[in-house]
Amino acid sequence: MARYNSKTSEQKWQARWEAAQAFLAKPDPARKKYYVLEMFPYPSGRIHMGHVRNYTMGDIVARYKRARGYNVLHPMGWDAFGMPAENAARERGVHPAIWTHENIATMRGQLKAMGLSIDWTRELATCDAQYYGHEQRMFLDFLEQGLVYRKESSVNWDPVDDTVLANEQVIDGRGWRSGALVEQRMLTQWFFKITAYADDLLKSLDTLERWPEKVRLMQSNWIGRSEGMRIRFTISGPQAKSLPGGGELEVYTTRHDTIFGMSFCAISADHPIALELAAKNPAIADFCKQCRDIGGTAEAVERAEKLGFDTGLKVQHPFISGRETPIYIANFVLMGYGTGAIFGCPAHDQRDLDFARKYGLPVLPVVAPADAEAPDIVNDAYTDHLNGRLINSEFLNGMSVAEAKAEISKRLQTANAGEPAITYRLRDWGVSRQRYWGCPIPVIHCDTCGVVPVPKDQLPVTLPHDVSFEAPGNPLSHHPTWKHTPCPKCAKPAVRETDTFDTFVDSSWYFARFCSPHADTPINRQEVDYWMPVDQYIGGVEHAILHLLYSRFYTRAMQQTGYARDSEPFSGLFTQGMVTHETYKDANGAWLFPEQVVKQPGGAVHKDTGAQVLVGKIESMSKSKRNVVDPEHIIAQYGADTARWFVVSDTPPERDIEWTESGVEGAWRFTQRVWRLVDESLDKLPPPKQPERLKEFAAPGISSVLVDVPEITDEAVLALRRATHRTIRLITEDIEQFLFNRAVARIYELANSISAFTQLSANPAGADFALREALETMVILAAPFMPHLAEECWTALGHTTMLVHIGWPVENPAVSKEDTMSITIQVNGKRRGELVMERGDWSEEYYREQAMALDAVIRHLEGKQPKKIVVVPMRIVNVVV
RNA sequence: GCCCGCUUGGCGGAAUCGGUAGACGCAAGGGACUUAAAAUCCCUCGGUCGUAAGGCUGUGCCGGUUCGAGUCCGGCAGCGGGCACCA
């Protein structure tokens, strides 16, 4: 018996699939489409286990859907712009383009070795002008539609990467990539008007039924809708008229019910009034500067005291004649949210209370708990807005918070002093990056004409190849000639925009480009309309907000500019867990690679020195901790099928999976076992039926892809057939629901049943047909997971049509139907026995009689009469005494 | 601080409709085959009492609903994730 040789076999089948163009996707309106997409990789150098897991899952779905008769689109490309290429250029003197394309070549080879069912003719890289030129064109269309604007604003500046970051890219006050503390700078930047869709992006989350609840919730929190009011207070004094706002201060609040508890107003250090005052008063200017310098890190915010500066200005209370409250500039008020101004009600807001205590401002409770006259406020504000009742509030007294809000709203609107307002936490997406390796923003700055879009017939604006990375900052702006160009309008000398797009722009529409990757327009509507939306998108949960929210926005912008029919890009989303591994350190505390470590009964030792190794926590694979396993080595040693099988075994796909050597060996043993089961049975099998090549959807009814089995009476043979057909049903359900670990277990079970069957000494009539049916089923069902081995087995079983062209088997319910059922018998809810009964529609009386006749039941009744006997047909009988 | 999720053998995990807890795999132990090793095959494998038959106990902790709870409800603890001076 020959052992299965994964290396030769995998290469052979990959070549045959390619020769047959088995995965080429063509639009066909007569067929139902299915678009499977995994998040495309950044070409960092080599693929890692996370890629293997991600792309294996996508490939399982793609191969399964293809076998079910869907017209499947399963493409692959490269998220090829970004900082690491520039860092490589700085550190090693390699040009970003060369570095990137070399990495792509390596990683493409590695992905191909995985045997993925990808249509490689659609491959794209975002760093190619054939891609980003279309992006520039869409940007100009967005600009025309008012979806893009340019403004000076305070931005997050990453001092290590020397560039601006979007809010979404700042985590705990640090750059998401560099980890450097982010600074605030004033810069003129391009923004995508994502807030224009805030409400739609939020509401439409409800329609994304095949998205994880967790991701929808995260996006919902990120968008952060709140309902409140804008209220305009009149600023006292004759000089007020000359202030920005013309004598009025507009605040945003969600607790207008507490207006009788107002004891101060506060404005941001960046509020127009604050800026105006600062211009005339150095003390105020100093204070404002101090506020801005605190920074936005979590720790800074935690530590920072509430600081305020009394402007001397006062506002008039809208409902209490003659009552005035001071306006402070305060460090905890953000210009970017609401109106950049608030009214403070210390009794019912913790920040306001901290502030009031510090500056000795009045604390007047205006909402009381249901069970008390007034809330007891010492250090904690009373913030319950559901159960409270209004007090100390004149016409509001006795009302609930909701009633009071409605009343205040009505009165303020009548007085034209305010109106309901909805505010979002979401900010517009700043897309300008001061970097070379990105898509140039296609505009020209002219002293005479201002900002002039590059005419569309002059696109693409390509990156210059000859750049220097010697100096810090943006190589594009240092380039001697590139930015100089005549103004398209007036032909006078002008300069190009040297900022490039955030790379998240590139990844916000690649899924659409895949539908018509060679079109000379950004997309071909007919093809996009056929393939989009992506039916199943798969990737890491770390993109729950950034990439997934940007893509949802961008698709809406494409819809508005006529590039797309739909507003949602991904109708199904699955977020897979990470691949983890134990960490190892030597006696000096240096991290060790897993291949340097040998596990022994007494512990782990160094492979070469024999020195003791400290086994640390199980953590997600990372180069810095060296707890990485190179997929290429695994594929070379065990084969792609083994690696694929392992990464979906045992652990549910959404959870983190631990990579273990023994686990991989287990997976490898199973691939050999499948081959052996087939190989050792070959001489016992009847000839195969050659099923037709897959053309249509698998028709419901009796499977046409499996061998036809004659009428059988032997119980062991029937049991094997039952197991076979039951497994078809279960695995189909499992794959549909992304329960790959369970599907793997079902295949093990079927293999166990086949093993046991082949070891029977008797050889009843029909056994050979049932065995062929079981083996063929196992092979077809395992094919999405282990496609090369499955092809090899399929051929060995005598088939001449490749398995990629064979449809999915269909369960025959007449075969899988069980004749008997086992009924659990309980006494007082405890299991005391089991009844094996013929399947049927028995009366409750019959169940009772059968149960009461059991020895175990009689024994546990101890002579007593049952009070009650609960019968659940087909399942359980519970005798209660 | 606010929001969300999770907690089952030595380990990954099954049991998703309230109805046999521990499928399947890994690890471990025992055995067969072999000159030996590898490979393969067979057996055991939550805890506990018992020679056995068979009990008792057991799904983070406390309580509740129910004939019956890993599953539902209330409370608590631990772990993980998201957001965070958002008015």
Secondary structure (3-state) at A56: helix
Distance A829 CA to B63 C1' (A): 20
DSSP state of A438: S
DSSP structure string for A287-337: HHHHHHHT-S-HHHHHHPPP-EEEEEEEEE-SSSTT-EEEEEEETT--TTS
- A261 φ/ψ sector (left φ>0, alpha ψ -120 to 50, else beta): alpha
- Average pLDDT of every residue of chain A: 91
In angstroms, the CA A509 to CA A506 distance is: 7
Q: Is A276 exposed, middle or buried (0-12, 13-18, 19+ CB in 10 A)?
A: middle
State the number of CA atoms in the 13 A half-sphere of A326 facing the CB: 14
> Is A581 near strand B, with its CB below 7 A from some atom of it?
no
Indicate if the pLDDT at residue A19 is higher than 60.
yes
- Least confidently predicted of A484-493, A600-609, A624-633: A600-609
- Both tokens of A855, joined, read 């020895």
In angstroms, the CA A432 to CA A369 distance is: 50
Q: Where are the alpha helices (DSSP H) in A236-297?
A: 272-280, 282-293
Residue nearest to nucleotide B24 (CA to C1'): A745
- Both tokens of A619, joined, read 């953590």
The pairing of beta strand A536-540 with beta strand A573-576? parallel
Which residues of chain A (757-816) touch nucleic strand B at CB < 7 A? 759
- Which residue is associated with the tokens 């998220």? A79
What's the pLDDT score for residue A473? Answer: 79
Question: Would you say A260 and A396 are in contact if contact means Cβ atoms under 8 Å apart?
Answer: yes
In angstroms, the CA A88 to CA A525 distance is: 38
Q: What is the ipTM of this complex?
A: 0.95
Q: Which has the closest alpha carbon to A256: A414, A402, A416, A425?
A: A402
What's the pLDDT score for residue A298? Answer: 44
Question: Would you say A559 and A533 are in contact if contact means Cβ atoms under 8 Å apart?
Answer: no
Q: Give, as ranges, the nucleotides of chain B with any atom within 7 Å of a protein CB.
A: 3-5, 11-15, 19-21, 23-27, 39-42, 54-57, 67-69, 81-87
Residue nearest to nucleotide B81 (CA to C1'): A214
In angstroms, the CA A65 to CA A732 distance is: 10
Indicate if the pLDDT at residue A472 is higher than 80.
no
Residue nearest to nucleotide B15 (CA to C1'): A742
Distance A856 CA to B47 C1' (A): 24
Question: Would you say A469 and A229 are in contact if contact means Cβ atoms under 8 Å apart?
Answer: no
DSSP structure string for A365-408: --EE-TTSSS---SSS-----SS-EE-S-GGGTT-BHHHHHHHH
Question: Would you say A811 and A728 are in contact if contact means Cβ atoms under 8 Å apart?
Answer: yes
- A326 φ/ψ sector (left φ>0, alpha ψ -120 to 50, else beta): beta
Q: What is the pLDDT of residues A336-348, one digit of tens each?
A: 899 999 999 999 9
Q: Which comes out higher in pLDDT, residue A171 or A517?
A: A517
> What's the longest Cα–Cα distance across chain A?
109
Residue nearest to nucleotide B39 (CA to C1'): A669
Q: b/e for A87-112, b at 16 or more Cβ within 10 A?
A: bbbeeeeebbbebbbebbeebbebbe
- Least confidently predicted of A166-175, A424-433, A527-536, A775-784: A166-175
Q: Which has the closest alpha carbon to A586: A569, A572, A604?
A: A604
Distance A543 CA to B52 C1' (A): 60
Distance A744 CA to B19 C1' (A): 27
In angstroms, the CA A641 to CA A747 distance is: 14
In the predicted model, what is the mean pLDDT of residues A787-805? 96
In chain A, % of residues over pLDDT 70: 97
In angstroms, the CA A423 to CA A202 distance is: 13
Q: What is the pLDDT of residues A181-235, one digit of tens each?
A: 888 788 899 999 999 999 999 999 999 999 999 999 999 999 999 999 999 999 9
In angstroms, the CA A470 to CA A741 distance is: 51
Q: Where are the alpha helices (DSSP H) in A161-212?
A: 198-203
Single-letter amino acid code for the residue at A23? F
Q: Tell me the torsion sign for CA atoms A791, A792, A793, A799.
A: positive
What's the pLDDT score for residue A601? Answer: 65
Q: What is the pLDDT of residues A318-335, one digit of tens each?
A: 999 999 999 999 989 988
What's the pLDDT score for residue A765? Answer: 85
Distance A216 CA to B83 C1' (A): 14
Q: Which has the closest alpha carbon to A313: A251, A364, A239, A232?
A: A239
Indicate if the pLDDT at residue A782 is higher than 90.
yes
In angstroms, the CA A451 to CA A190 distance is: 11
Q: What are the DSSP E strand ranges found in A98-173? A: 124-125, 148-158, 163-165, 170-171
In angstroms, the CA A460 to CA A480 distance is: 20
Q: What are the DSSP E strand ranges found in A593-703? A: 597-600, 603-606, 612-620, 657-658
In chain A, % of residues over pLDDT 90: 68
In angstroms, the CA A75 to CA A387 distance is: 55
What's the pLDDT score for residue A639? Answer: 96
Q: Which comes out higher in pLDDT, residue A831 or A75?
A: A75
What's the pLDDT score for residue A665? Answer: 94
What's the pLDDT score for residue A301? Answer: 57
Indicate if the pLDDT at residue A778 is higher than 90.
yes
In angstroms, the CA A756 to CA A333 distance is: 72
Which residues of chain A (324-353) touch nucleic strand B at CB < 7 A? 331-338, 340, 342, 349, 351
Indicate if the pLDDT at residue A646 is higher than 50.
yes
Q: What are the DSSP E strand ranges found in A736-857? A: 820-827, 830-838
- Rg of chain A on CA atoms, in Å: 34
> Is A663 near strand B, with its CB below 7 A from some atom of it?
yes
- Both tokens of A421, joined, read 């307002």
Q: Which has the closest alpha carbon to A313: A243, A363, A360, A361?
A: A243
Distance A717 CA to B74 C1' (A): 52
Distance A734 CA to B65 C1' (A): 33
Distance A110 CA to B51 C1' (A): 61
Of all nucleotides, the one whose C1′ comes closest to residue A670's CA is B25
Question: Would you say A310 and A223 are in contact if contact means Cβ atoms under 8 Å apart?
Answer: no
In angstroms, the CA A487 to CA A500 distance is: 19
Q: What is the pLDDT of residues A141-171, one digit of tens each?
A: 999 999 999 998 777 888 887 888 777 777 7
pLDDT band at A864 (very low <50, low <70, confident <90, very high): confident
- Which residue is associated with the tokens 């990737």? A539
The backbone torsions φ and ψ at residue A151, rounded to the nearest 5 degrees and listed phi first, read -155, 155
Secondary structure (3-state) at A286: helix
CA–CA distances in Å: residue A219 to residues A111, A356, A548 = 31, 34, 9
Which residues of chain A (233-292) touch nucleic strand B at CB < 7 A? 252-255, 268
Q: What is the pLDDT of residues A371-384, one digit of tens each?
A: 788 888 888 888 88
Alpha carbon A380 to chain centroid, angstroms: 38
pLDDT band at A300 (very low <50, low <70, confident <90, very high): low
In angstroms, the CA A709 to CA A712 distance is: 8
